[in-house]
Amino acid sequence: LTSAQYPTLRRNPDFKTLNDNDVAFFKSAIKSPAGVITADTPDELEPFNQDWMRRFKGQSTLVLRPSSTSEVSAVLKYCNDNNIAVVPQGGNTGLVGGSVPVHDEVVLSLQNMNQIREFDPVSGILTCDAGCVLEVLDNHLAQKGFIMPLDLGAKGSCQIGGNVATNAGGLRLLRYGSLHGTVLSMEVVMADGRIVECGKPLRKDNTGFDLKQLFIGSEGTLGVITSVSILTPRRSRAVNVAMLGVSSFDHLMEVFKQAKMDLNEILSAFEFFDRTCLNLVKRHIPNVRAPFDADTRFYVLIETSGSNKDHDDDKLSTFLEHVMTEGMVEDGALAQDATQAAGMWNIRETITESLAKEGGNYKYDLSVPVAQLYDVVEEMQKQLAERGLYAADGSATGAVKHVVGFGHMGDGNLHLNLTSTGWTTELTQAIEPPLYKSIQRRGGSISAEHGVGLMKAPYLSYSKSADFIDLMKSMKKLFDPKGILNPYKYFPPS
Ligand code: FAD
Ligand code: MLT
Ligand code: ZN
């Protein structure tokens, strides 16, 4: 697929087409010879044009990889002065087509800005370049007894700047809250090249507008984040992981309520997935085995984290006794060591990869009241079946193969996923408007964590009012008057 798939998104003719003088400027502004990739090396260019799902593809002929904030500033000033459109890019693991160009926008990759600037072991405040990979940061903190307050399946590639720019949620949000609470300050380069400190690495600072909050989740449309200060908690000494098999969604909710009651402050994750998700993981991921035999409709992964193993073990056994004796759970297993715990997490974390391997993967990250999470999946199955596009036994060949649900139950965040042989406009139309209408009716949000990007820009009005979108456009004008930052995304096409 190329941007030709989005015929309504014409290239904005106000943006300049790059010439040799522009490339010469960028080569002079970025000191490292590896910092500029051009069409002379198409194989090197390609991964920056293609998203993780291989669904969205741009046509950029230039990737810039600055090594310092001042280089980012020089690049953006030049782009702004010359009307050159720019796509900020982190680890390129985004799932909504926001991180790759649509046409020939310059890719500004933060890959080479990957230094840890400071860590204070008393306050737990970490300050680092935006291009630091999440897992690298977490490993660094592990040596000091701390942990990053967020964790995602993409941790080996995604960058903290990308996490902040998307307001990523992930597997630890239930415990440590969103980045709106843990990010303390950031350094941002504005579209015109100005370098702005948004706050200081302090827990409390009540001077001026809290502008950093605007950049969290702004998906590269307001400025380029070049460094982040984030509050990191102590790593828990006692961690337990259990996987349980549950026969109905009503039982799953009972288990969730019981977990909150019995495990309360030590509950650090409550993730669910349906039977098809587990089967797809077993099909696509080598050496994966479910920790027990029961074939149930739903599975739940529960993690506790605390500072006293005996105390946590007691709480967990009370909880397990409740859910087993009261018939909420069919079967289950408690990890006996770190390897078994990692094996259980591996099942949950490889669902994304397994679905992607099925072909055209339609992904949705929806917020809905917890009680209605799985109704959304069943509604989609029913609606597609009525149109002859889906059959639970797989007999509707050529259309939708699987309609599955998994996600961060503890956060009311459903990942509805569909797989097909590819992505077509017809199927997208059959799925998206009715889905988003249903989410609006349920009082939910069309994006709980992946963001808007290119994929959901036309549907923003299902979650935000016209007045709200107008206000967003005014802020965009203020921060990026020429609209050079991540064009065609985030805002509904006019
Ligand atoms: P990119 O994909 O490169 O960019 C994402 C957006 O941020 C783009 O709009 C880009 O322009 C902008 N951007 C990137 N860096 C900057 C910067 N420095 N300054 C300004 N703008 C910037 N997401 C979740 O929320 N929860 C999950 O549990 C989760 N799990 C995932 C699991 C897998 C296997 C995969 C592939 C993805 C998952 N994601 C998840 C989605 C994705 O990983 C997150 O959105 C992640 O935060 C993106 O980070 P990135 O560095 O890859 O950013
Ligand atoms: C997850 O929770 O695994 C991620 O958000 C990725 C996905 O939705 O596939
Ligand atoms: Zn998720």
Q: Give the number of other CB atoms < 10 A from CB of residue 135.
A: 16
Question: Do 247 and 323 share a domain, yes or no?
Answer: yes
| pLDDT score at 7 | 53
**CATH number for 284:** 3.30.70.2190
CA–CA dist 194, 23 (Å, integer): 22
User: Is 432 a member of any domain?
Assistant: yes
Tell the residue nearest (CA) to atom 4 of ligand 1: 99
CA angle 30, 72, 94 (to 5 degrees): 110
Bridge-based pairing of strands 331-334 and 116-120 is unpaired
- Last residue of a domain, which of 202, 231, 260? 231
For residue 133, give the CATH number of its domain: 3.30.465.10
pLDDT number for residue 68: 98
Backbone φ, ψ for residue 76 (5° rounding): -70, -40
Tell whether 374 and 436 lie within a shared domain: yes
Instruction: Print burial letters for 354-384: b (CB count within 10 Å at least 16), e (below 16).
Output: bbbebebbbbbbbbbebebbbbbbebbbebb
Beta carbons within 10 angstroms of residue 96's beta carbon: 25
Distance CA 286, CA 351 (A): 13
Q: Are residues 252 and 181 in the same domain?
A: no
Residue 341 placed within a domain: yes
Take atom 36 of ligand 1 and give the residue whose Cα is closest: 93
Q: Within a domain: residue 47?
A: no
Residue 138 sits in the same domain as residue 179: yes
Task: Say if 93 falls within a structural domain.
Answer: no
Q: Which of 157, 415, 446 to mutate to test the pocket of ligand 2 (most atoms within 8 A of CB)?
A: 415
Domain co-membership, 316 together with 375: no
Q: Which of 327, 351, 375 is the last residue of a domain?
A: 351
Which domain range does residue 127 map to?
116-231
Q: How many domains does the chain have?
A: 3
Q: 392 and 441 share a domain?
A: yes
**Are 292 and 381 members of one domain?**
no
Ligand 2 centre distance from Cα of residue 53 (Å): 12
For residue 450, is it within any domain? Answer: yes
Give first-to-last CA distance, the chain, whole Å. Answer: 23
- If asked whether residues 134 and 178 sit together in one domain, one would say yes
Decide: 362 and 347 in contact? Cβ < 8 Å: no
**Residue of the nearest CA to atom 9 in ligand 2?**
352
- Judge whether 5 lies within some domain: no
Pocket of ligand 2 (CB under 6 A): 153, 351-352, 363, 365, 407, 415, 449
List pLDDT tens digits, range 222-279.
Answer: 999 999 999 999 999 999 999 999 999 999 999 999 999 999 999 999 999 999 999 9
Three-state DSSP at 89 gives strand
Low-confidence ranges of the chain (pLDDT < 70): 1-8, 397-398
Sign for the pseudo-dihedral over CA of 154, 155, 157, 161: positive
Ligand 3 mean position to 168 CA, how many Å?
Answer: 8
Domain membership flag for residue 375: yes
Same domain, 347 and 363: no
Tens-digit pLDDT profile for residues 393-409: 877 766 899 999 999 99
Residue-level length of the chain: 494
List the CATH number of the domain containing 428: 3.30.70.2740
Q: What is the structure's pLDDT at 9?
A: 86
Residue 421's pLDDT is what? 87
Question: Domain boundary residue among 290, 321, 351?
Answer: 351
Is residue 342 domain-shared with residue 366, that is, in the same domain?
no
pLDDT at 8: 67
Task: Quote the pLDDT of residue 393.
Answer: 83
Question: What was the ipTM of the complex prediction?
Answer: 0.99
Q: How far is the CA of 158 from the centre of ligand 2 (A)?
A: 13
Is residue 82, in this structure, part of any structural domain at all? Answer: no
